[in-house]
């Protein structure tokens, strides 16, 4: 995963995203290891976040990953 995500995500969030990305889950995440899987992993973690503002930031980051705009996100 990009070190850039390490700057955008909290330590625990990064761990959770990495765990989701590396998991064998193909029900909630795309099967192949791709930018889509990274984005989906971030979105998946966002859905489990209780803080509404942080959830929105994470969803924006997930979208930015798809569009290659992680420098502007979060």
Which tens digit of pLDDT belongs to each residue from 23-69? 999 998 999 999 999 999 999 999 999 999 999 999 999 999 998 86
Residue 8, number of CB atoms within 10 A of its CB: 20
In the chain, domain spans:
3-67
Residue 11, number of CB atoms within 10 A of its CB: 8
Question: Is pLDDT above 50 for 74?
Answer: no
The whole model's pTM is what? 0.85
pLDDT (0 to 100) of residue 64 = 92
Residue 68, number of CB atoms within 10 A of its CB: 8
E strands, the chain, are: none
Q: Can you tell me the mean pLDDT for 8-31?
A: 94
Among 16, 15, 72, 18, smallest CA distance to 47 is for: 16
């Amino acid at each position: 995963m990009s070190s850039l995500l390490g700057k955008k995500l909290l330590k625990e969030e990064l761990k959770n995203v990495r765990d989701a990305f590396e998991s064998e889950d193909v029900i909630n995440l795309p099967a192949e290891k791709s930018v889509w899987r990274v984005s989906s992993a971030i979105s998946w973690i966002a859905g489990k976040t209780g803080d509404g503002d942080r959830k929105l930031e994470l969803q924006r980051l997930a979208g930015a990953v798809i569009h290659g705009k992680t420098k502007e996100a979060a």
